A and B are shown apart, each in its own frame.
Chain A
Amino acid sequence: MHEQAFRFGQARHLVGVVGLPAVIDHGVGVIFLNAGMVYRVGPFRLHVELARRLNALGYPTLRFDLSTIGDSGASGQRLSRPDQVVADVRDAMELLKQQSGCGRFVLFGLCSGAQNAHAAAHADPRVAGALFLDGYGHRTLGQRVRHYLPRLFSPTVWRHRLTRRHAEAPATPRANEPAFVVEPLPPAIVREQLTDMLTRGLKLDFVYSGGVARYFNDIRQFRECFGRLADHPGISASHFKETDHTYVLSGDRQKLLDHVEQWMGRHFPLTRPGT
């Protein structure tokens, strides 16, 4: 495994680290997009751990910072944020192609990174697959039933309500922190774009954590959200109910790494493994 740092992009405004396996397969490279405002190493170094695991298997990787995040600066171009993200990912693909020779790419994104990966995957034909962690999904009737029904019949919940005692409640709801959020695409548009991607032959994987139970709380919900798309052989979904949104525990990160390794091996098998 070999890692090299780069300043790159049309305006040399982007910063990233390319990881190369000992033997380059010239097949598919994996690009990591920022999870929210966390810089390229990812939450609790998730991207570093996963990139190195993939390098050891034989996949080239690039973890980089989008414009104005982490170590990357502004491009100076007058683009909307969604267009800038797509332009940045194109620059990233160009760099990884120069360094590794691979011409197809898998995008990895968590949270807003999943939204950005979705946009770039839809926009660029060189994207062959994407891993969306806590990506698109919306509340459904089933989600509400699964959320509220157990509470309706829970003596503990009723006791707390009636007595207004909170001594047994182990968690105090966290106050909302000020945050910049991006308005997600409407579900109909998401479905339409996913259909386009699958028609183009992309492989897509959705992983939902227990940290987003406010909008996704059961694997059955994937079908409720995306209907017959859920049956498409190019799409898969998992629900890691026990994990949190940012994979703070190392065991949870390892489980995710194992999952990604298996998914990559299934859809993008290497002919010449890196180690």
Chain B
Amino acid sequence: MKARVEAELPFYFGPGRELFGFYHPAAAVTGTAVLLCAPFGVEQIRCHRLYRQLAHALAETGLPVLRFDYYGTGDSGGETKDFDWVRCMADVVTAASELRNRHGGGRVLAFGTRLGANAALAAAQAARLDGVVAWDAIADGSALVRQYDSMQEALKVDLNRFEYARPDMDVSSQWPGFVRGDHLRDQLHALRLLDPGITSAWLASALPDEASLLPERYHQRRVSVDVSPRWDDVDCLEMAILSHPLIDAAKRHLKEMA
């Protein structure tokens, strides 16, 4: 185990080496690899440890893994305001290609959370993904925009956080923790859930928020997981999400697809 952890490599890749990635080689190669697509903004930071644990769990079962940060997020280049939905999907394609190069071709599956799930689903064809496991994918982009706006409004008057309520100008053009451009707001408004037309599994938290409520046509494929990330709760912005049930469910579905 220790030797494999040492073999895990952080690196920059892609055009201009702007994207940060973390490759987890598998003990025994099975011909299939997994791309982990992170959620956006504060959700990405909250899920960081969970993604690392999932990567380890998958690598142990023979699935090499690439974790990466989209442009404008995490350790990747760009400012947060540069995060753009079209670029995000292009980054999924770039990362899938990088993963193929590293593990020597073969099938590539993806796991994504929230907008990360949507990015994987939307880029599935261009990235030549063979299957996607989605956790709390965004079913209604407008609801997500309303949720982020409402959280930002709640932050403004959060007297558990601030000594005094903050004026509008201090919180405008931001979603919790991050500057956002109007462009992104428009892009997310228009976001709808895309069925990728490939093998997919739909994990749903026990108490999903409005933005990730799956439409009826997905109900038969929906798998409820005992995890409560409280995506819409401003009290949880700094709270890491750790969940063995989620890791077990994601691993099981990815292994079935492999």
Question: Which one of B182-190, B233-241, B246-254 is at the A interface?
Answer: B233-241
- Give chain A residues whose Cβ lies under 8 Å from the Cβ of B162: 210-211, 242-244
Query: Could you tell me the distance between the alpha carbons of A246 and B238 in the complex, rounded to whole angstroms?
Result: 8
A248 engages B163 (CB within 8 Å): no
Counting chain B residues whose Cβ lies within 8 A of the other chain, the interface size class is 35 or more
A15 at interface, CB cutoff 8 A = yes
A174 engages B235 (CB within 8 Å): yes
A174 engages B160 (CB within 8 Å): yes
- Smallest CB-CB separation from B173: which chain A residue? A250
B174 at interface, CB cutoff 8 A = yes
Counting chain A residues whose Cβ lies within 8 A of the other chain, the interface size class is 35 or more
A5 engages B239 (CB within 8 Å): no
Contact of A249 among B165, B174, B235 (CB under 8 A): B174
Query: Could you tell me the distance between the alpha carbons of A70 and B49 in the complex, rounded to whole angstroms?
Result: 6
Residues of A9-49 at the interface with B, using a CB-CB cut-off of 8 Å, are 12-13, 15, 17, 36-41, 43-45, 48-49
Residues of B166-183 at the interface with A, using a CB-CB cut-off of 8 Å, are 166, 170-171, 174, 176-179
- Give chain B residues whose Cβ lies under 8 Å from the Cβ of A43: 45, 177, 238
B102 at interface, CB cutoff 8 A = no
A91 at interface, CB cutoff 8 A = no
Say yes or no: A41-B166 contact (C-beta < 8 A), given A5-B12, A173-B160.
no
- Give chain B residues whose Cβ lies under 8 Å from the Cβ of A76: 2
Query: Could you tell me the distance between the alpha carbons of A17 and B21 in the complex, rounded to whole angstroms?
Result: 12
Question: Which one of B72-80, B112-120, B211-219 is at the A interface?
Answer: B72-80
Minimal beta-carbon separation of B235 from chain A (angstroms): 6
- Smallest CB-CB separation from A177: which chain B residue? B239
B111 at interface, CB cutoff 8 A = no
Say yes or no: A39-B12 contact (C-beta < 8 A), given A170-B157, A242-B166.
no
Ordered nearest first, which 6 A-B pairs have the shortest CB separation? A171-B159, A5-B10, A44-B177, A210-B163, A244-B161, A250-B179
16 other contacts beyond A44-B178, A70-B48, with CB at 8 A cut-off? A4-B12, A5-B20, A7-B8, A17-B75, A40-B75, A43-B177, A45-B45, A76-B2, A172-B160, A174-B160, A174-B235, A245-B161, A248-B177, A249-B170, A249-B174, A251-B170
